[in-house]
Structure 1
Amino acid sequence: MQKYLILYGTLGCHLCDDAERVLQTLGLTYKTIDIIDDNRLLEKFATSIPVLENTEESYLFWPFNETQVTTWLSEQK
């Protein structure tokens, strides 16, 4: 079963675009959430985006590549 992934970022963020390309290359299904729409998320991730979260509320902070995402996901229970 594939884990549910969320990619936190914002429009106009070239690093967020790069992170999306990594996820797309891996063929992963994910939801994007723009942190600008939520003050709590903006405060939490403003200087960290892009950030990838899975269903266990585990975070993978940028920079990451295909190998790092695959390893991170395999380490999640």
Structure 2
Amino acid sequence: MMEFILIGTLGCHLCETAEQILQELGIAFEHAEIMEHPQWQTEFAWLIPVLWHQPSGLWLGWPFTAASAADFYAEHKTA
């Protein structure tokens, strides 16, 4: 189970930008398709891309910067 999940959808240019930010920071994450999760559609539809920290249930919604993503990662990663 991956600790960080990037919730988005195919063809979303903002999701592609978020993915690039996370890759440049070296943050390991899995992709999750929002359309496969009805609960996420209700909760995050207008917020994607969303970086979700699965163990805590906390999330960082778009727009986020490299700095805010790095801070979120540092605050929530487990050793």
What TM-score results when the alignment is normalised by the length of structure 2? 0.85
Structure 2: tracts of 5 or more residues without a match: none
Identity of aligned residues (%): 39
> Is 1:4–2:8 an aligned residue pair?
no
Partner of 1:73: 73
Could you tell me whether the CA contact under 8 Å between 2:5 and 2:52 is conserved in 1?
yes
Residue identity in the other structure for 2:63 = P
Residue identity in the other structure for 1:56 = S
Aligned length: 75
Q: CA deviation at 1:37?
A: 1.2
Partner of 2:52: 53
Partner of 1:62: 62
SS of corresponding position for 1:17: helix
Q: CA deviation at 1:56?
A: 1.2
What TM-score results when the alignment is normalised by the length of structure 1? 0.87
Alignment RMSD: 1.5
Tell me how far apart the structure 1 counterparts of residues 60 and 23 of structure 2 sit (CA, whole Å). Answer: 16
Could you tell me whether the CA contact under 8 Å between 2:27 and 2:73 is conserved in 1?
no
Segments ≥4 residues shifted beyond 3 Å: none
Q: CA deviation at 1:73?
A: 2.2
